[in-house]
Amino acid sequence: KAEEALARGAKRARARSGKAIVLDPKTGEILAMANYPSFDPNKVRKLNTGDWKNRVVQDQYTPGSVFKLVTYGSALEEKLISPLSTIDCGNGTITVAGHTFNDSHAIGNVSYKEAFAQSSNGGAIKVSKKVGKRNFYEYARKFGFGSKTGIGLPAEAGGVIRDPSRWNRDSLASMSIGYEISVTALQSAAAFATIANDGIKIQPHIIKEIRKSDGEVIRKAKPQTERVVSQETAQDLRAMLRQVVLDGTAKRTKLNGFTSAGKTGTAWKYDPKLKKVNSNLYVSSFIGFAPADNPKV
């Protein structure tokens, strides 16, 4: 089902490739993992280069606004903001160290919850300033970015997040909205699962147990766990992610029969021909969970 849904979505978006992952946030069990385009293993000689990749664990990409989970999560955990207090997101532009960042539209003075729902870049950048470089970096690492998950699949990538000592003057602003870093889809899904699981990160895994032919269990999965943020922070973030679906950038992700929550992300790609970012080339993503209050997937 995941493969069929992914193929439909990728074709509809005229995407070059796509990836989808479904996991249980309470156990870390991988329920589905899909790639597009796929291939027929009976026709190996007709494979296109790269079609056999497991993009979910191998592809490293710029996440864009889904990374605002770290920006707001760190600020909430440090009690620097609260969802209903207000922030001035300005006229839709903000300049840091000579670099101007833009929003799709100006939203002015709103609550942090609304700034998050509307995916304001200016709002996220102001939040990251409160958090600071070192704190922001440490929370990104705690959420699992910059290192492999240890899922046990071949060629897993670890993503890249540089140490603050190597940042430029506008790096914190860029990272707060999901640029100047690279992640895998699995890392991102695991980070959102952490919030779905009341702030406890569970190592994702694909093998539940190993049995002998007679049914005797000789090994059970013992995934590593770590508290990343408090239960209160996780609950606040879940409410904010719910708002994204109800009234923000992810209204199209509402489900029939289930509540849902999540975050959209769009990251423009660098075009080597133009030697700058090309708004016609981008990575588009959504990460979420359902049901919103007691997430199962």
Question: ∠ CA 57-62-66 to the nearest 5 degrees?
Answer: 90
- 120 catalytic per annotation: no
Selecting among 17, 38, 65, 285, the annotated active-site residue is 65
Comparing CA positions, the residue from 241, 263, 267, 248 lying closest to residue 180 is: 267
Lookup: tokens for 40: 């027929």
Q: Report CA-CA distances (Å) from 113 to 49, 90, 127, 224, 253.
A: 43, 16, 12, 31, 18
Q: How many CB atoms lie within 10 A of CB 83?
A: 18
* Per-residue tens of pLDDT for the chain, all 297 residues: 999 999 999 999 999 999 999 999 999 999 999 999 988 888 888 887 777 889 999 999 999 999 999 999 999 999 999 999 999 999 999 999 999 999 988 999 999 999 999 999 999 999 999 999 999 999 999 999 999 999 989 999 999 999 999 999 999 999 999 999 999 999 999 999 999 999 999 999 999 999 999 999 999 999 999 999 999 999 999 999 999 999 999 999 999 999 999 999 999 988 889 888 888 899 999 999 999 999 999
